[in-house]
Amino acid sequence: MPSVIAALSESGGPVMDIVDYSEHAIGQGSNVQAAAYVECRTADGKSLFGCGLDTDVATASVRAILSAANGA
């Protein structure tokens, strides 16, 4: 996840750090999806929250970070 944060800031996105992260499964059997939740803090102290959902936990995590960045 740090590489996603770095890529965002290098491409003009907000400079932020991840301060909290959690994930859990939604569904059962072959229909399980991963839900990822992230709290990020910008350089000026603003908290940003994001959520991502996908069948792949890594993709769900990236989606959560992008969701938080969109709130900046």
Please tell me the distance from the alpha carbon of residue 57 to that of residue 66, in angstroms, as a whole number: 14
Topology annotation, domain 2-70: Double Stranded RNA Binding Domain (3.30.160)
pLDDT tens-digit series, residues 35-53 = 999 999 999 999 999 999 9
- Domain spans of the chain? 2-70
Segment 2-23 shows an average pLDDT of: 93
Q: Residues 46-66: what's their mean pLDDT?
A: 97
3-state helix, strand, coil split of the chain in percent (to 5) is 35, 40, 25
The vertex-15 CA angle with 12 and 16, nearest 5°, equals 140
What is the per-residue pLDDT for 41? 97
How much is the pTM? 0.90
